[in-house]
A and B are shown apart, each in its own frame.
Chain A
Amino acid sequence: SAVISQKPSRDICQRGTSLTIQCQVDSQVTMMFWYRQQPGQSLTLIATANQGSEATYESGFVIDKFPISRPNLTFSTLTVSNMSPEDSSIYLCSVAGGPDTQYFGPGTRLTVL
């Protein structure tokens, strides 16, 4: 399985600011995903990060709030913009493994004050 790292591992941010989370994979992968896990909850898909084109967002998530970059097949970033306390969550990137599996990074724990 791919080795996935995320930076930062955690952060505490002020309301109204933005945070960019990085996801690095040790091998080239076609599909990368970003998830949100609110406290005590399950995982919710934010978007699929597409290499060379705009990310595909799930219902309830928009590019202005969660801009995503995917400059190559091993790296992606998720920005949480204009943060509010409701954005406090764990943000996870994952990659599609084979066959039909996904592997997750360690997550970024975000607290917004």
Chain B
Amino acid sequence: GQQLNQSPQSMFIQEGEDVSMNCTSSSIFNTWLWYKQDPGEGPVLLIALYKAGELTSNGRLTAQFGITRKDSFLNISASIPSDVGIYFCAGLLPGNNDMRFGAGTRLTVKP
């Protein structure tokens, strides 16, 4: 019930294409976070969303907190080779710092 379903599992795209990935759950989350992890590194926070319906951008990245508080998506526009990595969604459950992670989306960008 508190698990996050992240899709797609992997994506192979051409440089310049747009990318979209999402996370869904049967549980309500207070906060949605999107992280990127490069090989050999820890996850780096990209975008944090705190309110249902919130739409936030960070450069070419845009993320939205679903109205039902049970889902979120991340879009990357005009992808570039350095976008390669694994993207994780994470949701914070109400009332505490209990964070759940999606399984990750592995993005490959072909030049």
Q: Is the CB of B42 within 8 A of A45?
A: no
Q: A106-B42, A107-B41 are in contact. Are A43 and B88 (CB under 8 A)?
A: yes
Q: A31-B97, A96-B97, A99-B50 are in contact. Are A42 and B104 (CB under 8 A)?
A: yes
Among B30, B31, B33, B101, the most chain A Cβ lie within 10 Å of the Cβ of: B101
**Chain B interface residue number, banded:** 20 to 34
Q: A106-B42, A107-B41 are in contact. Are A100 and B101 (CB under 8 A)?
A: no
Hey, which chain B residues are within 8 Å of A96, CB to CB?
Answer: 97
Q: A42-B88, A43-B88 are in contact. Are A104 and B99 (CB under 8 A)?
A: no
* Cβ of A18 under 8 Å from chain B: no
Q: Count how many pairs of residues, one from A and one from B, have CB atoms less than 8 Å apart in the complex.
A: 52
Closest-CB distance, A76 to chain B (whole angstroms): 15
Option from A1, A44, A99, A104 in Cβ contact (under 8 Å) with B43:
A104
* Cβ of A102 under 8 Å from chain B: yes
Closest-CB distance, A47 to chain B (whole angstroms): 12
Residue on B nearest A30 in the bound complex, by CB: B97
Hey, which chain B residues are within 8 Å of A42, CB to CB?
Answer: 88, 101-104
Could you tell me which B residues sit within 8 Å of A by CB distance?
A: 30-31, 33, 35, 40-45, 48, 50, 88, 90, 92, 97-99, 101-104
Closest CB pairs A-B (n = 9): A104-B42, A100-B31, A42-B101, A107-B42, A43-B101, A106-B42, A104-B43, A42-B103, A101-B48
